Protein backbone atom coordinates (compact mmCIF):
# COMPACT_ATOMS: atom_id res chain seq x y z
CA UNK A 1 0.00 0.00 0.00
CA UNK A 2 1.36 3.36 -0.93
CA UNK A 3 2.08 6.03 1.65
CA UNK A 4 -1.09 8.04 2.12
CA UNK A 5 0.90 11.25 2.12
CA UNK A 6 2.15 10.65 -1.38
CA UNK A 7 -1.25 10.70 -2.97
CA UNK A 8 -1.06 13.92 -4.92
CA UNK A 9 0.59 14.43 -8.24
CA UNK A 10 2.70 17.36 -9.25
CA UNK A 11 0.61 18.88 -11.97
CA UNK A 12 3.07 21.60 -12.94
CA UNK A 13 3.73 21.47 -16.66
CA UNK A 14 6.42 23.52 -18.34
CA UNK A 15 7.38 24.11 -21.92
CA UNK A 16 10.65 22.46 -22.75
CA UNK A 17 10.76 22.56 -26.50
CA UNK A 18 8.33 19.83 -27.50
CA UNK A 19 8.75 18.02 -24.19
CA UNK A 20 6.93 18.75 -20.92
CA UNK A 21 7.25 17.54 -17.33
CA UNK A 22 4.77 14.86 -16.41
CA UNK A 23 3.08 14.90 -12.99
CA UNK A 24 4.84 12.85 -10.32
CA UNK A 25 4.19 11.99 -6.70
CA UNK A 26 4.73 14.39 -3.85
CA UNK A 27 3.89 14.92 -0.17
CA UNK A 28 1.06 17.39 0.22
CA UNK A 29 1.94 18.22 3.82
CA UNK A 30 4.48 21.07 3.56
CA UNK A 31 5.01 21.11 7.33
CA UNK A 32 7.15 18.00 6.84
CA UNK A 33 9.54 20.11 4.77
CA UNK A 34 12.30 21.36 7.04
CA UNK A 35 12.62 24.75 5.37
CA UNK A 36 8.94 25.62 5.41
CA UNK A 37 7.97 28.55 7.69
CA UNK A 38 4.48 27.77 8.97
CA UNK A 39 4.11 31.20 10.55
CA UNK A 40 4.78 32.96 7.26
CA UNK A 41 3.25 30.17 5.18
CA UNK A 42 6.28 30.30 2.92
CA UNK A 43 9.77 28.89 2.43
CA UNK A 44 12.62 30.09 4.64
CA UNK A 45 14.97 32.70 3.25
CA UNK A 46 18.01 30.37 3.30
CA UNK A 47 16.21 27.90 1.10
CA UNK A 48 14.98 30.58 -1.31
CA UNK A 49 18.48 32.03 -1.57
CA UNK A 50 19.85 28.65 -2.63
CA UNK A 51 17.01 28.05 -5.11
CA UNK A 52 17.66 31.40 -6.76
CA UNK A 53 21.37 30.60 -7.04
CA UNK A 54 21.23 27.29 -8.90
CA UNK A 55 22.62 27.03 -12.40
CA UNK A 56 22.01 24.81 -15.39
CA UNK A 57 24.90 22.54 -14.37
CA UNK A 58 23.39 22.20 -10.89
CA UNK A 59 20.10 21.11 -12.44
CA UNK A 60 21.91 18.48 -14.49
CA UNK A 61 23.79 17.26 -11.41
CA UNK A 62 20.57 17.01 -9.41
CA UNK A 63 18.85 15.14 -12.25
CA UNK A 64 21.78 12.75 -12.43
CA UNK A 65 21.32 11.88 -8.75
CA UNK A 66 24.51 13.52 -7.59
CA UNK A 67 22.86 15.07 -4.52
CA UNK A 68 20.19 12.48 -3.73
CA UNK A 69 17.53 10.07 -4.95
CA UNK A 70 15.36 11.34 -7.83
CA UNK A 71 13.53 8.09 -8.54
CA UNK A 72 10.01 9.50 -8.07
CA UNK A 73 10.63 12.25 -10.58
CA UNK A 74 12.54 9.98 -12.99
CA UNK A 75 9.78 7.40 -12.88
CA UNK A 76 7.58 9.83 -14.81
CA UNK A 77 10.15 12.03 -16.50
CA UNK A 78 13.09 9.92 -17.51
CA UNK A 79 15.29 11.83 -19.93
CA UNK A 80 13.49 15.15 -19.20
CA UNK A 81 15.99 17.60 -17.69
CA UNK A 82 14.23 20.80 -16.57
CA UNK A 83 15.52 24.24 -17.38
CA UNK A 84 16.81 26.39 -14.51
CA UNK A 85 13.49 28.25 -14.38
CA UNK A 86 11.53 24.99 -14.35
CA UNK A 87 13.74 23.54 -11.61
CA UNK A 88 13.29 26.65 -9.46
CA UNK A 89 9.52 26.42 -9.92
CA UNK A 90 9.52 22.71 -8.98
CA UNK A 91 11.47 23.58 -5.84
CA UNK A 92 9.01 26.29 -4.80
CA UNK A 93 5.62 24.93 -6.02
CA UNK A 94 4.56 24.00 -2.44
CA UNK A 95 4.58 20.31 -3.38
CA UNK A 96 7.08 18.36 -1.26
CA UNK A 97 8.66 16.07 -3.85
CA UNK A 98 12.07 14.96 -5.06
CA UNK A 99 13.20 18.48 -5.99
CA UNK A 100 12.35 19.72 -2.49
CA UNK A 101 14.22 16.85 -0.90
CA UNK A 102 17.37 17.66 -2.84
CA UNK A 103 17.12 21.31 -1.81
CA UNK A 104 16.64 20.35 1.82
CA UNK A 105 19.63 18.02 1.75
CA UNK A 106 21.85 20.65 0.22
CA UNK A 107 20.81 23.46 2.60
CA UNK A 108 21.31 21.02 5.50
CA UNK A 109 24.87 20.42 4.37
CA UNK A 110 25.44 24.16 4.24
CA UNK A 111 24.07 24.58 7.77
CA UNK A 112 26.35 21.84 9.12
CA UNK A 113 29.35 23.69 7.75
CA UNK A 114 28.41 27.08 9.26
CA UNK A 115 30.10 26.37 12.61
CA UNK A 116 33.42 25.27 11.11
CA UNK A 117 35.72 26.19 8.23
CA UNK A 118 33.88 26.53 4.95
CA UNK A 119 35.13 24.43 2.04
CA UNK A 120 34.25 23.52 -1.53
CA UNK A 121 31.51 20.87 -1.68
CA UNK A 122 33.03 18.97 -4.60
CA UNK A 123 36.20 18.74 -6.60
CA UNK A 124 34.22 19.21 -9.78
CA UNK A 125 33.17 22.68 -8.72
CA UNK A 126 36.79 23.56 -8.00
CA UNK A 127 37.92 22.17 -11.33
CA UNK A 128 35.38 24.35 -13.13
CA UNK A 129 37.01 27.34 -11.46
CA UNK A 130 40.45 26.22 -12.56
CA UNK A 131 41.75 26.19 -8.96
CA UNK A 132 42.95 23.48 -6.53
CA UNK A 133 40.33 21.69 -4.45
CA UNK A 134 41.54 23.42 -1.26
CA UNK A 135 43.23 26.81 -1.29
CA UNK A 136 45.27 28.21 1.57
CA UNK A 137 46.21 31.81 0.94
CA UNK A 138 46.86 35.00 2.92
CA UNK A 139 43.75 36.88 3.90
CA UNK A 140 44.51 39.82 1.63
CA UNK A 141 44.00 37.75 -1.52
CA UNK A 142 40.28 36.99 -1.16
CA UNK A 143 37.02 38.84 -0.99
CA UNK A 144 35.66 40.01 2.32
CA UNK A 145 32.91 37.38 2.28
CA UNK A 146 35.36 34.89 3.81
CA UNK A 147 35.95 34.81 7.53
CA UNK A 148 39.02 36.78 8.60
CA UNK A 149 39.34 35.42 12.11
CA UNK A 150 42.43 33.37 11.28
CA UNK A 151 45.61 33.88 9.33
CA UNK A 152 44.49 31.54 6.55
CA UNK A 153 41.10 30.67 5.14
CA UNK A 154 39.57 27.90 3.09
CA UNK A 155 38.05 29.04 -0.18
CA UNK A 156 34.30 28.61 0.01
CA UNK A 157 32.19 27.80 -2.99
CA UNK A 158 28.50 27.42 -3.61
CA UNK A 159 27.95 25.16 -6.61
CA UNK A 160 24.62 26.85 -7.18
CA UNK A 161 26.40 30.16 -7.78
CA UNK A 162 29.10 28.90 -10.11
CA UNK A 163 28.97 29.14 -13.93
CA UNK A 164 28.24 25.89 -15.71
CA UNK A 165 30.48 23.98 -18.10
CA UNK A 166 33.80 25.46 -19.12
CA UNK A 167 33.60 29.02 -17.85
CA UNK A 168 36.70 29.96 -19.81
CA UNK A 169 36.38 29.79 -23.60
CA UNK A 170 39.13 28.92 -26.00
CA UNK A 171 40.10 32.57 -26.28
CA UNK A 172 39.55 33.40 -22.62
CA UNK A 173 42.40 34.42 -20.41
CA UNK A 174 43.44 31.91 -17.80
CA UNK A 175 42.47 33.07 -14.29
CA UNK A 176 45.26 34.38 -12.12
CA UNK A 177 46.66 31.98 -9.56
CA UNK A 178 47.10 32.91 -5.89
CA UNK A 179 50.81 33.54 -6.50
CA UNK A 180 49.90 35.99 -9.27
CA UNK A 181 47.57 37.75 -6.86
CA UNK A 182 50.35 38.00 -4.28
CA UNK A 183 52.54 39.90 -6.72
CA UNK A 184 49.65 42.10 -7.83
CA UNK A 185 48.73 42.85 -4.23
CA UNK A 186 52.36 43.68 -3.44
CA UNK A 187 52.57 46.08 -6.37
CA UNK A 188 49.23 47.66 -5.42
CA UNK A 189 50.33 48.04 -1.80
CA UNK A 190 53.64 49.64 -2.76
CA UNK A 191 51.85 52.04 -5.11
CA UNK A 192 49.32 52.90 -2.41
CA UNK A 193 52.08 53.62 0.13
CA UNK A 194 54.19 55.73 -2.23
CA UNK A 195 52.06 58.84 -1.70
CA UNK A 196 51.98 58.77 2.12
CA UNK A 197 55.70 57.97 2.37
CA UNK A 198 56.50 60.80 -0.06
CA UNK A 199 54.49 63.20 2.12
CA UNK A 200 56.27 62.05 5.28
CA UNK A 201 59.72 62.65 3.74
CA UNK A 202 58.73 65.78 1.84
CA UNK A 203 61.80 67.70 3.05
CA UNK A 204 62.27 71.00 4.83
CA UNK A 205 60.04 73.98 4.12
CA UNK A 206 61.31 76.56 1.65
CA UNK A 207 63.10 79.47 3.32
CA UNK A 208 61.78 82.97 2.70
CA UNK A 209 64.33 85.76 2.29
CA UNK A 210 63.79 89.39 3.34
CA UNK A 211 63.85 91.59 0.24
CA UNK A 212 64.53 95.35 0.65
CA UNK A 213 66.78 98.09 -0.80
CA UNK A 214 69.86 99.99 0.35
CA UNK A 215 69.01 103.62 1.13
CA UNK A 216 70.95 106.41 -0.62
CA UNK A 217 71.68 109.49 1.53
CA UNK A 218 72.39 113.00 0.28
CA UNK A 219 75.49 115.15 1.11
CA UNK A 220 75.67 116.83 4.49
CA UNK A 221 78.45 119.41 3.75
CA UNK A 222 77.75 122.88 2.32
CA UNK A 223 80.87 124.50 0.77
CA UNK A 224 81.26 128.27 1.38
CA UNK A 225 84.91 128.57 0.33
CA UNK A 226 84.07 130.53 -2.87
CA UNK A 227 82.05 133.05 -0.83
CA UNK A 228 84.88 133.53 1.61
CA UNK A 229 87.45 134.05 -1.17
CA UNK A 230 85.16 136.57 -2.89
CA UNK A 231 84.69 138.59 0.31
CA UNK A 232 88.43 138.71 0.96
CA UNK A 233 89.24 139.62 -2.66
CA UNK A 234 86.66 142.43 -2.68
CA UNK A 235 88.09 143.90 0.53
CA UNK A 236 91.65 143.91 -0.84
CA UNK A 237 90.69 145.48 -4.14
CA UNK A 238 88.78 148.23 -2.37
CA UNK A 239 91.72 149.01 -0.08
CA UNK A 240 94.14 149.06 -3.00
CA UNK A 241 92.07 151.49 -4.98
CA UNK A 242 91.50 153.81 -2.05
CA UNK A 243 95.20 153.87 -1.23
CA UNK A 244 95.95 155.04 -4.74
CA UNK A 245 93.28 157.76 -4.68
CA UNK A 246 93.65 159.19 -1.15
CA UNK A 247 96.96 158.04 0.30
CA UNK A 248 97.68 158.88 3.91
CA UNK A 249 94.40 160.69 4.54
CA UNK A 250 91.67 160.25 7.13
CA UNK A 251 89.20 159.40 4.36
CA UNK A 252 91.35 156.48 3.34
CA UNK A 253 91.34 155.13 6.87
CA UNK A 254 87.56 155.44 7.17
CA UNK A 255 87.09 153.63 3.85
CA UNK A 256 89.37 150.81 4.94
CA UNK A 257 87.40 150.38 8.16
CA UNK A 258 84.13 150.16 6.26
CA UNK A 259 85.60 147.66 3.81
CA UNK A 260 86.70 145.42 6.70
CA UNK A 261 83.20 145.59 8.20
CA UNK A 262 81.67 144.58 4.88
CA UNK A 263 84.07 141.66 4.54
CA UNK A 264 83.29 140.34 8.03
CA UNK A 265 79.58 140.67 7.38
CA UNK A 266 79.86 138.68 4.15
CA UNK A 267 81.80 135.96 5.95
CA UNK A 268 79.22 135.78 8.76
CA UNK A 269 76.37 135.47 6.23
CA UNK A 270 78.23 132.70 4.43
CA UNK A 271 78.61 130.65 7.62
CA UNK A 272 74.95 131.19 8.51
CA UNK A 273 73.93 129.95 5.08
CA UNK A 274 76.23 126.94 5.46
CA UNK A 275 74.71 126.04 8.82
CA UNK A 276 71.13 126.26 7.57
CA UNK A 277 71.87 124.25 4.44
CA UNK A 278 73.63 121.48 6.34
CA UNK A 279 70.79 121.27 8.85
CA UNK A 280 68.31 120.79 5.98
CA UNK A 281 70.54 118.12 4.42
CA UNK A 282 70.70 116.22 7.72
CA UNK A 283 66.91 116.42 8.03
CA UNK A 284 66.44 115.03 4.53
CA UNK A 285 68.76 112.13 5.31
CA UNK A 286 66.88 111.42 8.53
CA UNK A 287 63.64 111.12 6.55
CA UNK A 288 65.31 108.71 4.12
CA UNK A 289 66.50 106.57 7.05
CA UNK A 290 63.04 106.57 8.63
CA UNK A 291 61.32 105.56 5.40
CA UNK A 292 63.83 102.77 4.78
CA UNK A 293 63.46 101.54 8.38
CA UNK A 294 59.67 101.29 7.97
CA UNK A 295 59.95 99.43 4.68
CA UNK A 296 62.54 97.07 6.10
CA UNK A 297 60.30 96.27 9.08
CA UNK A 298 57.39 95.54 6.71
CA UNK A 299 59.59 93.30 4.58
CA UNK A 300 60.76 91.32 7.61
CA UNK A 301 57.19 90.93 8.85
CA UNK A 302 56.01 89.69 5.45
CA UNK A 303 58.90 87.22 5.26
CA UNK A 304 58.13 85.97 8.78
CA UNK A 305 54.45 85.37 7.90
CA UNK A 306 55.30 83.55 4.67
CA UNK A 307 57.89 81.42 6.46
CA UNK A 308 55.35 80.46 9.12
CA UNK A 309 52.89 79.49 6.39
CA UNK A 310 55.52 77.35 4.68
CA UNK A 311 56.38 75.63 7.97
CA UNK A 312 52.70 74.96 8.73
CA UNK A 313 52.07 73.57 5.22
CA UNK A 314 55.04 71.20 5.60
CA UNK A 315 53.78 69.97 8.97
CA UNK A 316 50.29 69.41 7.55
CA UNK A 317 51.71 67.41 4.63
CA UNK A 318 53.63 65.19 7.02
CA UNK A 319 50.62 64.73 9.29
CA UNK A 320 48.54 63.71 6.28
CA UNK A 321 51.26 61.30 5.22
CA UNK A 322 51.29 59.60 8.65
CA UNK A 323 47.49 59.49 8.68
CA UNK A 324 47.26 57.97 5.20
CA UNK A 325 50.02 55.50 6.03
CA UNK A 326 48.28 54.30 9.19
CA UNK A 327 45.00 53.93 7.28
CA UNK A 328 46.56 51.86 4.50
CA UNK A 329 48.56 49.69 6.87
Q: What is the per-residue DSSP string for 73-86?
A: HHHHHTT-PPPHHH
> To the nearest 5 percent, what fractions of the chain are helix, strand and coil?
55, 5, 40
CB count in 10 Å sphere of residue 276: 11
> What pLDDT does 73 receive?
86
Alpha carbon 243 to its chain's center? 108
Question: What does the mean pLDDT of the chain come to?
Answer: 75
Given a contact cutoff of 8 angstroms between Cβ atoms, the answer to whether 35 and 107 are in contact is yes
Cα R_g (the chain), whole angstroms:
55
Q: What's the pTM?
A: 0.34
Query: Which residues contact residue 36 at a Cβ distance below 8 angstroms, ignoring those fewer than 6 apart?
Result: 30, 42, 43, 44
* pLDDT tens-digit series, residues 131-167: 444 444 444 434 444 444 444 334 444 444 434 444 4
Q: Are 81 and 56 in contact (CB under 8 A)?
A: no
Q: Most distant CA pair in the chain: distance in Å? A: 187
Helix (H) or strand (E) holding 302: helix 250-328
pLDDT in tens, 42-56: 999 888 988 998 898
Amino acid sequence: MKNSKINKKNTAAYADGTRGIKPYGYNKNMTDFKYWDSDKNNYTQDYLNWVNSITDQDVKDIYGGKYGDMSTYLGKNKGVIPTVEQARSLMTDRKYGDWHKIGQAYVDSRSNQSSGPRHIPSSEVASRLGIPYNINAPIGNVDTANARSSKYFNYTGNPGQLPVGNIYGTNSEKPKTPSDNNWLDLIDNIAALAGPIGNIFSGSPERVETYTYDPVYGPTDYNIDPILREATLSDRIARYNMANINPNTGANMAFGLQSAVNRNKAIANAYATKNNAENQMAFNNAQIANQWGQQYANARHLASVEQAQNDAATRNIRRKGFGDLSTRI
